[in-house]
Structure 1
Amino acid sequence: MMDMTQPKKRFIEIVQQLRVLIREEKIEAGGKLPSERVLSERLQVGRSAVREALRSLELLGLIETKHGGGTFLSASPQHKLIEVLATFIMDDERALSDVEKTRSLHEREAIRVVCQKEKLRNLPVWDSLFIQLEITNNSLRNDVMREIMIASGNRLALRIWFQLEAYSGNKFSGKVTQQEKTNVLTLLKAIQLGLQEDALEAYEQWRQQL
């Protein structure tokens, strides 16, 4: 079995190296970061790894990418979160449990929000997920939860969720199995019907299967 912890540890190292570089270069809010090529050379990692780290930081609002202009440290106070982020991920082993619990809190709240609003319950995405599960049998676990998070409409929660997903190990990676399908289908149907408690129960049973 492939060890998924190694890529994640490497990712964490890159983020930490970026933090040091920003401090040493005295890059202020709104300041421009070196290009992907330069970062790749200075950090001695592949450009794809640098690109993935930058994408994650952008999702969190720590950096901004301007088309044709480069990458900049966020001009908002959010850029200070890079210190918090780096400190948190320093102890990956201890933080993993907290990451999973925090992710679950965001997912449960998103399920509640969607169940409570008729407009969100009637989004066509739920039927699309049903078709994927029933006909193509090709649904990814993270796809299901991502659509629920997106549907809830909380952009900050979605940004946080993307980061939690990146650090939460491989528990939700891969396809929905036949054993899980019943709970996932029940979750989606309960969402469409606005049955909040049934949806949350199906969600918890699904998590216990992973």
Structure 2
Amino acid sequence: MFDGTSSKFQSILIRINEVIEQDGLKPGDRIPSERELVSRLNAGRSTVREALRALELLGIITTKRGQGTFLQPHQFHRLVDILSFYILQDDRAKDNLLETRVILETVAAKKAALVATEAEIAALEECWNAMEKSVYQGQIPIEEDYAFHHQLIQSAHNYLLTRIWYPLIQYGKTVRQSSLSQPSRPQKALEEHRGILDAVKRRCPQEAADRMEQHLAAAGLPTPYD
């Protein structure tokens, strides 16, 4: 249970959000100053200051010396990153991490086949070409593999999905490196990526999802139905 100080602090955070909504502020806009918030919220300066510090820690606002405090674009928010850090301290959650990635990426592949723009499909093609070049040069395409999956996630046009996926892929980096380091695995992974890309290009959502699940299973990730 929260004590009185915590409850008051939470209340101020909620009320600052209400001020932002009431003023119709958008990312990049300057928010009211600390002094103005103290007056509008009828709150103590120290409580308002701590609330603003918390919002800045989360990447929701940023302070520019001599200019004021501004709302940050959504991509700078660290809410998911911070929450994932605490969630993944649990051993059971760690065991489920890779399975969660499979679920997210198969859904993303399916949706990308439905909504990806021609420009996004072209970007996926470029990612695949870079991966092909790396493989034929005898390199392990760690970064190229990441770029392909990242572009596919973005092509699903779901911001929250992208934000949830990012910390998952970072925590699973060791698994990805281990898989691609196996003999003949880079070539097979290249072919699997080609299959996913072709399914997206042909607007075949179920095939794209199936090929993604098969690709991740071949990379050693658990399927959600095992």
Fold shared per TM-score above 0.5: yes
**Cα deviations by residue, 1:150-183 (Å, 9 ceiling, x for unpaired):** 1112111111111212223522347670122211
Match of 2:113 among 112, 115, 128: 115
Quote the offset at 1:128 in angstroms. Answer: 0.5
Of 101-110 and 62-71, more deviation after overlay is shown by: 62-71
Structure 2 CA distance for partners of 1:67 and 1:140, relative to 1, 3 Å:
farther
Amino acid at match of 2:127: L
Of 128-137 and 181-190, more deviation after overlay is shown by: 128-137
Whether contact under 8 Å (1:125, 1:147) holds in the other structure is yes
Counterpart in the other structure of 1:29: 51
Structure of higher CA gyration radius = 2
Aligned residues: 157
Counterpart in the other structure of 1:66: 62
Match of 1:154 among 126, 151, 158: 158
Does the residue aligned with 1:95 lie in a helix, a strand or coil? helix
Counterpart in the other structure of 2:203: 194
Amino acid at match of 1:187: I
Is residue 2:185 matched to residue 1:181? no
Structure 1 segments unaligned to the other structure (5+ residues): 1-25, 35-53, 55-61
**Cα deviations by residue, 1:72-125 (Å, 9 ceiling, x for unpaired):** 9x9xxx98878854542222x322222112222221121111111363586321
**Cα deviations by residue, 1:32-60 (Å, 9 ceiling, x for unpaired):** 699xxxxxxxxxxxxxxxxxxx8xxxxxx
Amino acid at match of 1:159: R
Quote the offset at 1:65 in angstroms. Answer: 6.0
Amino acid at match of 1:162: Y
Does the residue aligned with 1:111 lie in a helix, a strand or coil? helix
Q: Percent identity of the aligned residues?
A: 19
Structure 2 segments unaligned to the other structure (5+ residues): 1-46, 136-140, 220-226
Amino acid at match of 1:29: A
Counterpart in the other structure of 1:163: 167
Quote the offset at 1:187 in angstroms. Answer: 0.8
Counterpart in the other structure of 2:92: 94
Structure 2 CA distance for partners of 1:156 and 1:83, relative to 1, 3 Å:
closer
Does the residue aligned with 1:105 lie in a helix, a strand or coil? helix
Whether contact under 8 Å (1:183, 1:206) holds in the other structure is yes
Amino acid at match of 1:200: A
Structure 2 CA distance for partners of 1:150 and 1:178, relative to 1, 3 Å:
same
TM-score (norm 2): 0.54
Structure 2 CA distance for partners of 1:121 and 1:200, relative to 1, 3 Å:
farther
Amino acid at match of 1:126: L
Give the 5 Å matches for 1:47-66: 62-64=58-60, 66=62
